Structure 1
Amino acid sequence: MQAKDNIILTHEQIQHKIKRIAYQIYETNVNEKEIVIAGIAENGYIFAQRLKEILEDISSISVTLCKVTMDKSAPQNTVQTSITSSVYENKSLILADDVLNSGTALAYGVKHFLDVPLTRFKTAVLVNRNHKKYPIKADFKGISLSTSLHEHVNVTFGKNDLAVLE
């Protein structure tokens, strides 16, 4: 972390945001026996792992993790998942990413999962930026920021050091 970085959320604040999102996911899926959390690589997947840990502590819902990889500069035909579509078919799925910047990654991630019937489909982000290229909305969000298109938001996931920087 450089001295010029603005810390938007501290480690403790991020922990609270993730826990709150996990409770919201649980409330939305209280009648489900199993859900799938698909995290967009790299930080979105780490975010998904942390949501899974909390969900398993607070509920009896079985959580399957899925890693979503794509070439973010050309995502049209590059979306791949770590599990087959038969694993998440007819289940509740949450697509997770750390920061909703332009909406490109989330939009193409959503498109990928729409090819398979799901019982419920929601999105979760830790940071929702209000300046987006696509009309993508996060169902669960930790914090919303009104930033300019030229500002960059970075989430740092360390073992004991979490931070959202501007």
Structure 2
Amino acid sequence: MSRNYILSKEAVARKLQRMAYEIIENNLDEQEIILAGIRENGSVIARNIEKLLHAINSNIKIWNIEIALDKKAPHDIKLSGETDFTEKVIIVVDDVANSGRTMLYAIKPFLAYLPKKIQTLALVERTHKTYPVNTDYVGLSVATTLQEHIFVEVEGDTVTGAYME
């Protein structure tokens, strides 16, 4: 079965680069940015964004943590690194933003603190939001039917494409 690719490896690289510049532009006065990638693909995207941010601006401290949660039943949420998130800028990163539910639950552990900002990033955003989550940084926004699904492919630490079924 042939796949309906909506992003090639090269297009993904361009989208990630653009989003990294947007992050810097929107956070120029910040000392530190925490990228919180949602396991699995969100973590890969967060690591790629981290490398791009370091290349663009070495004055902002960038660090990465991983959020582990079951996307089908996202009640138990674990962070790979515990710290005081008070007054920090946190960017929650996922591969695809569908309904907004996963992003909403992924934000939950940070609310025990008083972060300065919580922003969201998704490589691909679908237009069917059922939860009140706005994606701040979007690689590609796609209008889909509820029956269509978007998949992001990764190999190691490289995002190789995205397709729709």
TM-score (norm 2): 0.93
Question: Does the alignment pair 1:140 with 2:133?
Answer: no
Aligned to 2:71: 72
- Cα deviation digits, residues 129-155 of structure 1 (max 9, x gap): 001231221001001000011101000
* Unaligned runs of at least 5 residues, structure 2: none
SS of the residue aligned with 1:85? coil
Q: Aligned equivalents of 2:83 and 2:73: distance in 1?
A: 22
Tell me the equivalent position of 2:82. 84
Q: Alpha-carbon deviations, 1:30-61, whole Å to 9, x = none? A: 11121100000000010000000000000021
User: Are positions 1:62 and 2:71 aligned together?
Assistant: no
Which has the larger strand fraction? 2
Structure 2 matches for 1:42-121, cutoff 5 A? 42-60=40-58, 61-76=60-75, 78-86=76-84, 88-121=85-118
Aligned residues, how many? Answer: 162
Contact 2:12/2:159 (CA < 8 Å) preserved in 1?
no
- The letter of the residue matching 2:138 is K
Q: State how far apart, in whole Å, the 1-side matches of 2:68 and 2:115 are.
A: 20
The residue number in structure 2 matching 1:124 is 121
Retained in 2: the 8 A contact 1:85–1:116? no
Gaps of 5+ in 1: none
TM-score normalized by the length of structure 1: 0.92
> Distance between the aligned counterparts of 1:35 and 1:18, measured in 2?
16
SS at match of 1:90: coil
**What is the one-letter code of the residue matched to 2:50?**
K
Aligned-pair identity (%): 36
Instruction: Determine the structure 1 residue equivalent to 2:15.
Output: 17
CA distances 1:102-150 after superposition (whole Å, capped 9, x unpaired): 2111010122222211111110110000012312210010010000111
